[in-house]
């Protein structure tokens, strides 16, 4: 049974009796996980169904997510690529941030992971903070990747109060945002930043309540995407000090990194008004061998909102690398 069918089965059982609690999902069939020591910490990762001899893709998730957040997208690609999905520092089962970390720490984590796993010229694919991370890896370690793929990276000036708000989360900026207006007694806030006590309190949220929140705010998402979204919030360590917060957000200060990527590059951006698209297209013109594509009808989590279109664009780009 694949992960999507398993997700529908879990949803059916949950609806059959409101008294039953929904258990967090395990890994998709055929997947495995492990740990590697890199850049001074233990990094946990997931490995999709092995594809020996196929090109390696390393998928780097965004803030508060985990490696399993890539599950439905990875399932679409795993027959043709050998896919690894690490939990970033401070996320999932990987080690937490420390006050010694800085704005290059997450970049060095990815480089260290690739080297520890002995990958040769992997394709780097990232979302949100992960997109900024792989962008900087491509710029600062030009001989490491075969190609760089960025899903909705922050391009241009940072939004106001970025340190307080962070990047959009489920329901924010997505096509499901209207549905989020109907707040319920079980509506619960999920934050990237905050005092340690508040971040840890989020880990104690009911999995059922998190799953319901995701389903309510993101009607376009597959149930499996919401299951792993809920699990990721219960595992999010977060940055527990201002120094750690600045290390995480410093990763997203990409500067001129986009212009310095020498390998083939692809940016997929969420839907946006014409004026925003025009400004972003001007920024993206600095790419040496890059392409920018907008995904109509998609919010920040475009690979969940419009997975079919996302897969089409990824496949078209990946086919040019052979």
Task: Give the per-residue pLDDT at 171.
Answer: 44
User: Taking the complete model, does pTM exceed 0.95, yes or no?
Assistant: no
Backbone angles phi, psi at 88, to 5 degrees: -65, 155
pLDDT value of position 14: 43
User: Rounded CA gap, 63 and 45, in Å?
Assistant: 16
* Number of neighbours of residue 23 by Cβ within 10 angstroms: 12
- Going by the DSSP 8-state scheme, the letter that residue 2 receives in this structure is -
Residues 6+ positions from 154 with CB-CB distance below 8 Å: 128, 132, 167, 252, 254
Q: What is the pLDDT of residue 317?
A: 98
CA distance 284 to 280: 6
pLDDT recorded at residue 322: 80
Question: Residue 238 in contact with residue 197, Cβ under 8 Å?
Answer: no
88, exposed or middle or buried, with CB in 10 Å at 0-12, 13-18, 19+? buried
Which domains are assigned to the chain? Answer: 3-319 (3.40.50.1820)
Helices (H), strands (E): how many in the chain?
Answer: 13, 8
pLDDT tens per residue, the chain (322 residues)?
565 554 544 444 444 334 345 678 899 999 999 999 999 999 999 999 999 999 999 999 999 999 999 999 999 999 999 999 999 999 999 999 999 999 999 999 999 999 999 999 999 999 999 999 999 999 999 999 999 999 999 997 766 555 555 555 554 434 333 333 344 446 799 999 999 999 999 999 999 999 999 999 999 999 999 999 999 999 999 999 999 999 999 999 999 999 999 999 999 999 999 999 999 999 999 999 999 999 999 999 999 999 999 999 999 999 999 8
């Amino acid at each position: 049974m694949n992960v999507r069918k398993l997700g529908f089965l879990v949803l059916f059982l949950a609806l059959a009796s409101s008294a039953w609690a929904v258990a967090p999902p395990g890994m998709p069939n055929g997947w495995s996980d492990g740990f590697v020591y890199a850049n001074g910490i233990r990094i946990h990762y997931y490995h999709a169904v092995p594809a020996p001899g196929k090109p390696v893709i390393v998928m780097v998730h965004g803030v508060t997510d985990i490696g399993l957040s890539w599950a439905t997208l990875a399932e679409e690609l795993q027959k043709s690529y050998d896919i690894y999905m690490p939990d970033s520092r401070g996320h999932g089962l990987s080690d937490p941030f420390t006050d010694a970390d800085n704005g290059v720490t997450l970049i060095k984590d990815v480089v260290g992971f690739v080297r520890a796993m002995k990958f040769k010229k992997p394709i780097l694919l990232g979302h949100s903070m992960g997109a900024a991370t792989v962008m900087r890896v491509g710029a600062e370690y030009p001989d490491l990747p075969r190609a760089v793929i960025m899903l909705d990276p922050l391009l241009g000036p940072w939004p106001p109060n970025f340190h307080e708000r962070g990047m959009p989360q489920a329901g924010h900026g997505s096509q499901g945002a209207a549905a989020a207006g109907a707040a319920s007694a079980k509506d619960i806030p999920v934050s990237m930043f905050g005092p340690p006590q508040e971040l840890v309190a989020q880990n104690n949220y009911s999995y059922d309540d998190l799953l319901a929140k995701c389903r309510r705010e993101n009607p376009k998402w597959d149930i499996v995407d919401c299951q792993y979204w809920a699990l990721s919030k219960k595992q999010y360590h977060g940055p527990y000090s201002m120094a750690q917060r600045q290390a995480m957000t410093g990763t997203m200060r990409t500067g001129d990194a986009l212009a310095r990527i020498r390998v083939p590059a692809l940016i997929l951006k969420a839907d946006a008004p014409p004026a925003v698209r025009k400004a972003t297209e001007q920024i993206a013109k600095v790419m040496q061998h890059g392409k920018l594509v907008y995904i109509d009808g998609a919010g920040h989590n475009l690979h969940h909102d419009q997975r079919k279109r996302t897969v089409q664009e990824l496949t078209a780009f990946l086919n040019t690398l052979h």
